[in-house]
Structure 1
Amino acid sequence: MKNIGNKILLTGLGLALSWSFSANHVAAQVAKTKPAKVAGVKALPLDAEVRTGKLPNGFTYYIRHNEEPKKRVTFYLANKVGSVLEDDTQRGLAHFMEHMSFNGTTHFPKNELVNYLQKSGVRFGADLNAYTSFDETVYQLPIPSDNPEILKNGIQIMRDWAHGATLDPTEINKERGVVLEEKRLGKGAQERMMREYFPVILNHSRYSLRLPIGTDEVLNNFKPEAINRYYHDWYRPDLQALIVVGDIDVNEMEKTIKAKFGDLKNPANEKPRTKYTIPLTGKNQFIAVTDKEMTVTVAQVMIKQPALNLITAADYRQSIIRELFKRMIGARYAELQRQANPPFIQGGADLGEFLGGLDNYSLFVVAKPGELESGFKATWRESEKVRRFGFTQTELDRAKTSYLSDMDASLKEKNKTNSDSYVNEYLQYFLKGTAAPGISYEYNLVKNDLPGINLSEVNMLSKSAIKTTNRDVLLLAPEKDKATLPSEATVNSWIAAVEAENLTAYNDEVSKQPLLTAQPTAGKIVSETKDAALGTTTLTLSNGIKVILKPTDFKDNEILFAGSAPGGTSLYSDADYQSASNASGMVSSFGVGNYNPTQLEKYLTGKQLGVSPYISERSQGINGSATPKDLETALELLYGYVTEPRKDADLFTGIIARSKAGLANRANDPGSVFQDTVTAVLGNHSIRRTGPSIAKVEQINLDRAYDIYKDRFADASGMTFTFVGSVDIEKIKPLIEKYIASLPATHKGEEAKDLGIRIPDGQITKAVYMGTEPKATVDLVWSGVFDYTPTEKVTLDALKECLEIRLIERLREDESGVYSPGAYSSAGKLPTPRYSLVVNFGCGPKNVDKLIASTLDEISKLKSAGPTQVNIDKWRAESLRTRETGMRTNGWWLGYISGQTTDKEDLHQFDSYTKELNAVSIESVKAAAQKYLSGKNYIRLVLLPVEGTK
């Protein structure tokens, strides 16, 4: 159900290229046995805070009390079974079985399970979910723990999932369409190429024949007996575990689990759970794959090796060495990418998990058009330097400092760790045997092991990981470049040429200068007011800036902050727009004060902070986070970004070159072309709303971007800052006076300009014909003027949610025409109050008109009769639970206070939220549907394959 894949993800410059095992979630490792003793060496203990046990039938459980968040509990049912166990008649049925667990169980027939949970405030897809991989199937259920009836039924649901699916043949046939639509969503260039190269990189193992999404032939034609057989064979207690973490009584939960799951029985003559692996052949392999919708040329080298199983203390020490290696090699490639003329669009290397009992040293390069050889050699050269010369002592020292700082930050938050983090630890412990001794135990391991890890050990790992055997070279490229792609012999000659070069060892240059060229002259706090009900203190500074402080106890070691002022790119002409819109990202990437970006990265080693200036359409500001210990450094960095930005022509040239190269083949990708079309139509074809292009990149002028950046931050007097988290008000005041009250102020009193860019009125239909796969994407948009009040915002949200519930019930469950339809609403106050409501889904091209008609029919019913009371109740329960949990996070409060301040709205508006929620009725939603979904302003946007595609 989750669309999560194992990926190599290349991000930056808007580029996201990934390969994915299937449209479903796929784990990165084969299931391993539970840790005991390994070669006579004692395994690390399981976290002492978790209660664990195994019932006589083999069923395992893990229970932990945790109050982050309060009044919540998360259940995971883990099954050590997945697609690798399917026989030839069952390909895709491990995943199909996961779907069927939501379509009828002993105590929740048909779709009653989802219906019941929605009434309890659990969101389908967001909270309630599951995934299937090669080796595992996992169900997740977070529910309220303060309602005994809901808690009781939650445990019953887990029992039903363990072995209570009804597998009604009628429901099976209805679900075929849903699963096939999920499979359809995964189709495209990446999926087509993956099916070609997967057998090679998986060494033609069983994994290459068992993609979890399955085959059309099986999904369309399997008999109910086939899935019943899979369920009977594999859903059994000796392969299952229940993980329970949350605000519960551990003793009572253990009693309940023993009573509920103790009667599960393993099948007679049970099948052995074979542990499949990917064999290492000792050979090197090569494959080149092209596709006409591929937008870039990628080369990847994968050097496979036996997995590092994390079970013993010795394993843990090796994992530390590996992490140090990863940090150092990552920094090397980041520095290489910052060159004036970087040799590639992106490049890097990593060492980590692969699949089937293997790990993988992976090196990749996204080449500039026509420059694969130079890009590949540059990437390989950096790896060869690491293999030949290793790292330097100063690099290792920084990596150790960074690693220990991360562990220290985790230790300080150990009492405020979210339940999901614990659940995932115990999940990996059960499935793979990955040690989970707890953060205190791990911290002591690191404190003991880290000082003794020397440079020779890390460099030894470099030599053992970067081997000459079990090496696969994979090339992915646009089809038009097929004739010019190198052969295996050619790529091998590139590798040989680099290895024959007279390379020099890396020189680690570290600056000893202070961050800033000039220290700030502190200002003053001129007034202070407190709001006891809100729990805030508001400071007015001598330069006109306002600072709102909200101390919380949600985290022990976290401060989030944000500051903004009106203005933004709206104050600049269309001719300046590209320079203005890219100014903040561009200038901040040049470093700050005395430090270029590489020096800055080294300077910040071991500090837990992040600071990011931005310039949006209507404002400019700075977002950041820090631990209390590192807050002063974060504020010093903030001051530097405002007063001492850098200009670097060489880095600018490199960024422009990579950006243009990344856009060269953008028009090949149907999804990008469609999204650009949607943006353009909804933006009324303003040049500020059309998609990226090489021509637009060429409009970016370094001097103009730098001047606009400085102009935007020249007057901080209109800014309001908000700090939320582990804030000590008296300790933070001197820092605010030094670094924020000292910011420049000219008191211009600027306001953002209304550019008049609106979603166009009227009825518009636009179809984009592109792509060869039989798949369509539909966006339906309603928009217009909005009565911006708390009541209307809540009612619009109710309308959106009630519509989405009905679309899931009708388009997915009744008509089996889509996988995951969504409805989304937004309501903005500035520059003028307007709303939009969007319905989005993917489907088969032949079903577009039918499914749009069904959507419009559901809207018509909302306008004529309103929603059902039960759907309003579902929305209300979900909203209350979501708000309750959100208000216990620093991020929620930062977003709320900042948003209300920007919109000049009352900060106490949240006090009336429950009242507004309870006031929503069938009639008020019906009236909203008539007002906001009248069809007067309606845009239909559809992506279809090229005509003639079946």
Structure 2
Amino acid sequence: YEKQYNERNNTKSDALGQELIRHFIDNEPAPGIEIEKQIVDMFLPQLTVDVINGIIKDVMTPENQVLVVSAPESFSLPTKEEMLGVVNDAMTREYEAYVDEVITDPLITKYNKAGKVKSVKENSQFGATEYTLSNGVKVIVKPTDFKSDEIQLVAVRDGGKQIYSTSQADNVQLLESAYETAKKGNFDNKTMTKYLAGKTVSLGYSMGSYTDVLQGKSSVKDFETMLDMVYASFCQLGDDKAAYDADASSSRAMLANQEKNPMFTFQKKQVNTLYNNPLLDIISTDNIDKASYPQMMTMLRNVFANAADYTFIIVGNVNQETLQPMLEKYVASLPSKGKAVAPKAVTQMGAVKGIVDEAFDQTMQTPLTVVFDCYNGMMNYSVASDVMVDIFGDILSNVFTETIREEEGGSYSPYAYAYFNVNENRWNLVEVIQTNAEMRDKVMARANEETLKLMKNGANADQFNKVREAALKQFEINERTNSYWVNGLMRNVRGIDTMTGRRAAIENLTLEQFNAFINTLWNGENRVKVVMTGVEEGK
């Protein structure tokens, strides 16, 4: 309620609309967040443990329960009597009162000596301020008023999966899990959860093909806690193999079930066929079994060994008057070699080249056929090309709805999308269609026909205008979000400007320009298709 109240002037229209729908359909009161917060502030202190326990006794009775057990076919189901026995035991047992452990210790006990801000300059192009710190770290700050109680932070460096050999694939696949479960500062993962109770803050590490990213989000009052967590990640990351093993055990059980799911099998085959790179495969139980925890922790410490490799980006309701001393304490003090060290690529990323067709049968209880088709090609990046690639995918998706769904009746929700991989200067057009074995060949032929026809003949005015107008509206929504600026600035510091001139590229794009662009987009050289045909079990 507090967060909703703080953001009351930035609430999205769809949230307000849904509240009014519930008001008229379900007779749910809709007094507005100001009144709701007053009610919560008044009644919450009166909700004692005795009150809650009294409500539970009235709600949970032997007469109002439905017991459902869902399990694999190989599992021996419990009897009715066994199930009732478990429930009755739980309801009649004496329990000790829960004692909430309040964490009062600090996350970090001792910090490195604070650094200094060496220089500050304004970036008028993006309305941002750039700080250069004494340890070589650059910080870009963009204050916004899109949300009153949100600050987003990203620390990004060049690196990622490309700097590892494929022999390290198992460790790379589990590296994010090793970070998540590692000790940070004075706390293990369990204690950290308790420490963060009541705080609006999160921070996580992710490894992409070309980057390492530490990304977080917080309320205004918990921003310093987020910086504390950043400091712990760089300076006080500790082993906790027991926590990692527990997480790995849970993941192993989950994956063991997922690997029996035909759609999971399809996704794995799709990724493996498209990239043929174990560093990019979907994680498997085999990865978990082979990953080395000591090696992963060494890899993580190397990831955070040189803070000067990173550019920090902070976007949101930032008070720059109080920010500088926090940057000096938490960021300028991070371990550093004084300057960034360029990463050395070891393994090539990106999709396979050439025409690749992969088809396989998969037993299923309810057979279905899934088609994945990816066209791609190389092209120097520009904002205009990026916009046209996006529009191309959206127009084709609409064409599929009209032809494959409405005319052929071959799929309920066929779709296509296109995007520009700015790291590789590669455009990608992806088509995904679910159908059945009987309609498979007809649907695939129609999809191929409509794709090539659109490329050759171009879109008509109605198709183009509909999608271009939607793209402009979506851009206007995106531009008013902190995430848009975080992601755009993150690409910009790596030399890729995806923001400058984007509105103009959408507004000024003509049908003639668009059709000329897609007419020469695909040269017929790179296309990856994966088809899974469902076969009924026992046949």
TM-score range normalised by the length of the shorter chain: over 0.9
Partner residue, 2:101: 509
Query: In the alignment, is residue 442 of structure 1 matched against residue 31 of structure 2?
Result: no
Partner residue, 2:318: 727
Once residues 418 and 781 of structure 1 are traced to their aligned partners in structure 2, the CA distance between those partners, rounded to angstroms, is 35
Please tell me the residue identity of whatever aligns with 1:564: V
Q: Secondary structure at the match of 1:628?
A: coil
Once residues 739 and 692 of structure 1 are traced to their aligned partners in structure 2, the CA distance between those partners, rounded to angstroms, is 34
In structure 2, which of residues 220, 232, 243 is the aligned counterpart of residue 640 of structure 1?
232
Q: Secondary structure at the match of 1:879?
A: helix
RMSD of the TM alignment (CA)? 2.4
After TM superposition, give the deviation of residue 529 of structure 1 in Å.
0.9
Aligned in 2, Cα 1:675/1:789: closer, same or farther, shift over 3 Å?
Answer: same
Query: In the alignment, is residue 818 of structure 1 matched against residue 407 of structure 2?
Result: no
Query: In the alignment, is residue 863 of structure 1 matched against residue 455 of structure 2?
Result: yes
After TM superposition, give the deviation of residue 538 of structure 1 in Å.
0.8
After TM superposition, give the deviation of residue 927 of structure 1 in Å.
4.2
Partner residue, 1:433: 27
- Give the TM-score of the pair, scaled to structure 2: 0.93
Query: In the alignment, is residue 703 of structure 1 matched against residue 261 of structure 2?
Result: no
After TM superposition, give the deviation of residue 580 of structure 1 in Å.
2.9
Partner residue, 2:361: 769
Is this contact kept in 1: 2:177–2:244, CA < 8 A?
A: no
Q: Secondary structure at the match of 1:581?
A: helix
Partner residue, 1:87: none
CA deviation vs aligned residue, 1:318-346 (integer Å, no higher than 9, x gap): xxxxxxxxxxxxxxxxxxxxxxxxxxxxx
Is this contact kept in 2: 1:560–1:894, CA < 8 A?
A: yes
Partner residue, 1:476: 70
Partner residue, 1:896: 488
Partner residue, 2:518: 929
Partner residue, 2:278: 687
Aligned residues between the structures: 537
Aligned in 2, Cα 1:470/1:691: closer, same or farther, shift over 3 Å?
Answer: same
Please tell me the residue identity of whatever aligns with 2:384: T
Partner residue, 1:649: 241
Please tell me the residue identity of whatever aligns with 1:417: T
Please tell me the residue identity of whatever aligns with 1:712: V
In structure 2, which of residues 478, 499, 511 is the aligned counterpart of residue 910 of structure 1?
499
Once residues 606 and 500 of structure 1 are traced to their aligned partners in structure 2, the CA distance between those partners, rounded to angstroms, is 32
Is this contact kept in 1: 2:162–2:348, CA < 8 A?
A: no
Is this contact kept in 2: 1:413–1:556, CA < 8 A?
A: yes
After TM superposition, give the deviation of residue 421 of structure 1 in Å.
1.6
Partner residue, 1:419: 13
- Give the TM-score of the pair, scaled to structure 1: 0.54
Once residues 935 and 502 of structure 1 are traced to their aligned partners in structure 2, the CA distance between those partners, rounded to angstroms, is 71
CA deviation vs aligned residue, 1:76-112 (integer Å, no higher than 9, x gap): xxxxxxxxxxxxxxxxxxxxxxxxxxxxxxxxxxxxx
Is this contact kept in 1: 2:164–2:345, CA < 8 A?
A: no
In structure 1, which of residues 655, 658, 676 is the aligned counterpart of residue 250 of structure 2?
658
Aligned in 2, Cα 1:497/1:884: closer, same or farther, shift over 3 Å?
Answer: closer
Q: Secondary structure at the match of 2:136?
A: coil
Query: In the alignment, is residue 549 of structure 1 matched against residue 141 of structure 2?
Result: yes
CA deviation vs aligned residue, 1:192-247 (integer Å, no higher than 9, x gap): xxxxxxxxxxxxxxxxxxxxxxxxxxxxxxxxxxxxxxxxxxxxxxxxxxxxxxxx
Partner residue, 1:9: none
Partner residue, 1:47: none
Query: In the alignment, is residue 606 of structure 1 matched against residue 198 of structure 2?
Result: yes
Please tell me the residue identity of whatever aligns with 1:737: E
In structure 2, which of residues 378, 401, 409 is the aligned counterpart of residue 785 of structure 1?
378
Once residues 249 and 319 of structure 2 are traced to their aligned partners in structure 1, the CA distance between those partners, rounded to angstroms, is 46
After TM superposition, give the deviation of residue 526 of structure 1 in Å.
0.7
Gaps of 5+ in 1: 1-406
Once residues 649 and 826 of structure 1 are traced to their aligned partners in structure 2, the CA distance between those partners, rounded to angstroms, is 39
After TM superposition, give the deviation of residue 673 of structure 1 in Å.
0.6
Once residues 657 and 408 of structure 1 are traced to their aligned partners in structure 2, the CA distance between those partners, rounded to angstroms, is 37
After TM superposition, give the deviation of residue 507 of structure 1 in Å.
4.4
Once residues 519 and 461 of structure 1 are traced to their aligned partners in structure 2, the CA distance between those partners, rounded to angstroms, is 48
Once residues 622 and 431 of structure 1 are traced to their aligned partners in structure 2, the CA distance between those partners, rounded to angstroms, is 44
Please tell me the residue identity of whatever aligns with 2:526: N
Is this contact kept in 1: 2:162–2:210, CA < 8 A?
A: yes
After TM superposition, give the deviation of residue 698 of structure 1 in Å.
0.8
Once residues 802 and 750 of structure 1 are traced to their aligned partners in structure 2, the CA distance between those partners, rounded to angstroms, is 40
Partner residue, 1:455: 49
Aligned in 2, Cα 1:925/1:458: closer, same or farther, shift over 3 Å?
Answer: same
Is this contact kept in 2: 1:614–1:622, CA < 8 A?
A: yes
CA deviation vs aligned residue, 1:596-621 (integer Å, no higher than 9, x gap): 23322222222222222223332223
Query: In the alignment, is residue 799 of structure 1 matched against residue 388 of structure 2?
Result: no
Q: Secondary structure at the match of 1:529?
A: strand
Please tell me the residue identity of whatever aligns with 1:800: G
Please tell me the residue identity of whatever aligns with 2:5: L
Q: Secondary structure at the match of 1:819?
A: coil
Partner residue, 1:486: 78
Please tell me the residue identity of whatever aligns with 1:697: I
CA deviation vs aligned residue, 1:843-881 (integer Å, no higher than 9, x gap): 232112112211221223223322212222222211111
CA deviation vs aligned residue, 1:385-432 (integer Å, no higher than 9, x gap): xxxxxxxxxxxxxxxxxxxxxx22222221221111211111111111
Partner residue, 1:304: none
Query: In the alignment, is residue 758 of structure 1 matched against residue 350 of structure 2?
Result: yes
Partner residue, 2:305: 714
Is this contact kept in 1: 2:158–2:211, CA < 8 A?
A: yes
Is this contact kept in 2: 1:812–1:818, CA < 8 A?
A: yes
Gaps of 5+ in 2: none
In structure 2, which of residues 59, 71, 86 is the aligned counterpart of residue 465 of structure 1?
59
Is this contact kept in 1: 2:2–2:37, CA < 8 A?
A: yes
Please tell me the residue identity of whatever aligns with 1:943: M
Is this contact kept in 2: 1:859–1:929, CA < 8 A?
A: no
Q: Secondary structure at the match of 1:665?
A: helix
Query: In the alignment, is residue 880 of structure 1 matched against residue 469 of structure 2?
Result: no
Once residues 551 and 498 of structure 1 are traced to their aligned partners in structure 2, the CA distance between those partners, rounded to angstroms, is 52
Is this contact kept in 1: 2:368–2:437, CA < 8 A?
A: yes
Once residues 591 and 450 of structure 1 are traced to their aligned partners in structure 2, the CA distance between those partners, rounded to angstroms, is 34
CA deviation vs aligned residue, 1:565-586 (integer Å, no higher than 9, x gap): 1122332333333223322333
After TM superposition, give the deviation of residue 921 of structure 1 in Å.
4.2
Is this contact kept in 2: 1:585–1:614, CA < 8 A?
A: no
Aligned in 2, Cα 1:573/1:493: closer, same or farther, shift over 3 Å?
Answer: same
Is this contact kept in 1: 2:189–2:243, CA < 8 A?
A: no
Once residues 99 and 153 of structure 2 are traced to their aligned partners in structure 1, the CA distance between those partners, rounded to angstroms, is 37
Q: Secondary structure at the match of 1:476?
A: coil
Q: Secondary structure at the match of 1:668?
A: coil
Aligned in 2, Cα 1:618/1:761: closer, same or farther, shift over 3 Å?
Answer: closer
After TM superposition, give the deviation of residue 480 of structure 1 in Å.
2.8
After TM superposition, give the deviation of residue 946 of structure 1 in Å.
0.9
Aligned in 2, Cα 1:499/1:465: closer, same or farther, shift over 3 Å?
Answer: closer
CA deviation vs aligned residue, 1:646-698 (integer Å, no higher than 9, x gap): 321221221122122222233321111111110110012x2223333222111
Q: How does 1:523-534 map to 2 (within 5 A)?
A: 523-534=115-126
Q: Secondary structure at the match of 2:237?
A: coil
Percent identity over the alignment is 27
Once residues 693 and 789 of structure 1 are traced to their aligned partners in structure 2, the CA distance between those partners, rounded to angstroms, is 37
Once residues 672 and 824 of structure 1 are traced to their aligned partners in structure 2, the CA distance between those partners, rounded to angstroms, is 21
Aligned in 2, Cα 1:841/1:461: closer, same or farther, shift over 3 Å?
Answer: same
Q: Secondary structure at the match of 1:555?
A: coil
Aligned in 2, Cα 1:735/1:718: closer, same or farther, shift over 3 Å?
Answer: same
Aligned in 2, Cα 1:653/1:501: closer, same or farther, shift over 3 Å?
Answer: farther
